[in-house]
Copies of this chain bind each other. A is one copy, B any other.
Amino acid sequence: MSATTADEPLQKRQQAKLQREQQLLLLAQQILQQDGFAGLTMDRLTALSSVSKGTIYNHFCSKEDLFTALSVDSLQRQLQLFQQALQIPGHSREQALALHLAYYRFSTTEPTLFLCLLTATTPGVVEKSSPERLALRQQLEFQLAALCQQLITQAIALGDLQLRAGQTIDALAFVQWAQAFGGNALFKPTQQLGLFSQLQAQPTMLLGVNLLLDGLNWRPLSSEWDYQASWQRMMAILATQQLGAAGQSN
C-alpha cells in the first residue's frame, strides 16, 4: 500500500462521515427546538434525515450517545465563545468576567445546546454513552478548564491576584466553573417556576461573579471599578461580532 494515495480516499470518507454527523446533530437540535425533548425519537430523526436508521446507529451507539454527542458540540461552541471573549481587551479581572459573560451568552443564545449539556450530565445518559465520546467530552472540558487556569495564572503573574492559604489555581477555576454552571442551569427553571421571579438574569450573574472575585481580592475590586459598565461594553462588542469564526454558512 502506497502511503500517499491509499489513505487519501480514506480521509475523504472520514471527512464526509464527520460532516454528516454534524448534519445529523444539527437536525437533532432542530427537532429538540421544535418538538421538545420528548419529541426527539430515533425514528423521527431517521425520517427527517436523508439516511437510514442503521446509518445513524453507525454514528451513535444509542440515543443517549446522541445526547452526549450534542453535549460535545455544546462544549465546542462554548470553547469558541470563550476564545472570542478572551480577545476583548481589558485587565485580568475583566477577562475573568468576560468568561462568565461568555458562559451566560452561551446559555441564552443556545438554550437547546445548554440543555443538552445538562441532560448529558445525567447518569442515565452517561451509562449508555460510548466511552470514546465520553472521553472526547472530557478532553474538551480539559481545554475549557485550561483556559480558566491560564487566566488565573496570568492574573497572579500580573499581581492582580494573590493566592492565600488553601487556595490553588485548580480550586479557583473549579469554584468559578461551579458558579457559572449553577447560576445558568438554575436560572431559567427557578424563574419560570416563580421561585425567584423578581430576579433579572444579567445583574444577578454579575453580582455572583463580583462577590466571588471580591472575595478573592482580585484587583481592581468591584468597589474600585464599574464592572456593570465592563459587562455592557463587552456584551456590546460580542453582540456586534457575527457569532464565531467557525460559523456555518447557514
- Could you list which residues of chain A lie within 8 angstroms of chain B, going by C-beta atoms? 36-38, 115, 118-119, 121-124, 126-128, 134, 138, 141-142, 145, 166-168, 170-171, 173-175, 177-183, 185-187, 189-190, 193-196, 198-199, 203-204, 207-208, 210-216, 228
Contacts and interface: CB of A to CB of B under 8 A. Distances in A.
A159 to B, nearest CB: 19
Copies in the complex: 2
B215 A199 contact: no
Nearest to A167: B207
A214 B166 CA distance: 15
B212 A199 contact: no
- Ordered nearest first, which 8 A-B pairs have the shortest CB separation? A182-B182, A211-B215, A178-B182, A215-B215, A37-B124, A214-B215, A178-B183, A175-B208
B122 A37 contact: yes
Nearest to A116: B123
B177 A182 contact: yes
B207 A166 contact: yes
Contacts of A198: 168, 170
A74 to B, nearest CB: 14
Contacts of A185: 121, 178, 181-182, 185
A124 B128 contact: no
